Chain A
Amino acid sequence: MLPSQKMAWGNVIVWGTYLIVLAIVLAANGTVLFWQENSLKNAFFIITGVAFAAFIIMMLFVWTGASRAKVTIDERDHKIMNRANALAGPIAMTALAATSLVLGLVYVESENSVMSPYFLMYVTLINIVVYWLAQAIYTLVAYRRN
């Protein structure tokens, strides 16, 4: 298996699990505005911290494995990575717009004239995670097709 494939699998496992766990925690508490309760806020930061730590460990494993095996990246890999980036960008932007719209509607419904600073952190994080996931899924599909 090539390093880019390993990284894609790692991304799917780490960030897919992250989104599922986060969805379960938020659904169990009945709100998407995690910053409104201290316990939920702590849970959010712990889940996010663990996911980032797992992501870094996974990257280190893939990089050290690739440098030991002296794997070379060819034109096909470059093409797949470029296509993956081209596809992941619009998907992440759509996720950003959708998250912003949903959270914006939550604010409008509650007739708030102020919002939490966590709002921006939330949409940025969702954008990053969706980008990595979309990129990883496309990479796996492209290698399978080839």
Chain B
Amino acid sequence: MAPLQKRALISLLMGLALAIALVVVFVTRDIMGFRLIVYALWIGVPVVYLVLMNLTRLSKLKQIDERDKLIKDRAPKIQWLSVIFTLVVWYIVLNDLYWDQGQLPVVYLTFIFISTLIISTLAESLGILIGYWRMNRNG
């Protein structure tokens, strides 16, 4: 497994864990220190992303070849499209739920931003993994 592929897989698993944590926080918000956990997720997601996708790459730079670079360069498009679709889904769902009131609770802003961050992290990792899978399949 290529170093970039391995990193993408770890990043994907971490992103999934954070996404599950977000759902758990949302479900159990009356029991737990809701605000503190939300702040921890706010900081945790970008830090995990930064460490896995940027900082650790520096030491392994020599192991990255042209194929890795090509896959890495293609992943941001998938990442951006995923963010756009996430926002569109939020817009449709919230509009549908609060159509009669005509206004949305501000608390959703936090969830929208955290989910966008998580989806963005997941999508880049997924984009890299799909890139390797397609390249191995097509040669």
B94 within 8 A of A: yes
Q: Is the CB of A89 within 8 A of B70?
A: no
Q: Is the CB of A113 within 8 A of B113?
A: no
A28 within 8 A of B: no
Bound-complex Cα distance A92 to B116 (A): 13
Q: Is the CB of A82 within 8 A of B70?
A: yes
Q: Is the CB of A104 within 8 A of B120?
A: no
Q: Is the CB of A114 within 8 A of B103?
A: yes
Task: With CB as the reference atom, state the residue of chain A lying closest to B77.
Answer: A85
Chain A residues within 8 Å of chain B by Cβ, number: 28
Bound-complex Cα distance A128 to B91 (A): 15
B105 within 8 A of A: yes
The interface bits of chain A over 85-118 (1 if a CB of B lies within 8 angstroms of the residue's CB, else 0) are 1101110110011001000100100001111110
Q: Is the CB of B83 within 8 A of A127?
A: yes
B112 within 8 A of A: yes
Bound-complex Cα distance A93 to B82 (A): 12
Residue of B84, B101, B105, B109 touching A127 (CB-CB under 8 A)? B84
Listed in ascending order, the chain A residues whose CB lies under 8 Å from chain B are 82-83, 85-86, 88-90, 92-93, 96-97, 100, 104, 107, 112-117, 119-121, 123-124, 127-128, 131
